Amino acid sequence: MFMGEFQHNIDTKGRIIIPSKFRDGLGHSFVLTRGIDHCLFAYPMDEWKILEEKLKKLPVTKKDARAFTRFFFSGAVECEIDKQGRINVPSPLRKYANLDKECIVIGVSNRIELWARDAWTDYVEESEESFAEIAENMMDFDI
């Protein structure tokens, strides 16, 4: 399980350090793709395969299913962690998530997320204001 929040910089070549706490869980090779809310999602291969199987079952006749599957898979790349604990984030993914200098890497249960620092700060501030309402809505999911 991934959890925690870490700040790291992305360099001019698009490399970012993956926190050492997350490296073992991700494995040597993992999948990085566009996430929701203009961040990036990183999945260990076993989690990616589970998600892939679920997405394959979506009906191709449904417009939203096609759109989501295209969005998710077209941005996906396999990443490897180098000896310094870094990955290279491809330019299209950096652009999508506005990763240009200061970044936040967070653990979210079965995946990690990469955020531009300012976007993460804004997201947290907005979420804090409505956290009680969000928590109340989660009751529908037996949490």
CATH of the domain at 51: 3.40.1550.20
Residue 127 vs residue 53, higher pLDDT: 53
**Sign of the dihedral through C-alpha 123, 119, 122, 86:** positive
Strands 40-44 and 111-116: antiparallel
What is the extent of the structural domain holding 11?
A: 2-141
Domain tally, the chain = 1
- pTM for this model (two decimals): 0.92
Quote the CA–CA distance of 136 and 43 in Å, as a whole number: 28
Condensed to tens digits (0 to 9), the pLDDT of residues 61-109 reads: 999 999 999 999 999 999 999 999 999 999 999 999 999 999 999 999 9
pLDDT of residue 143: 61
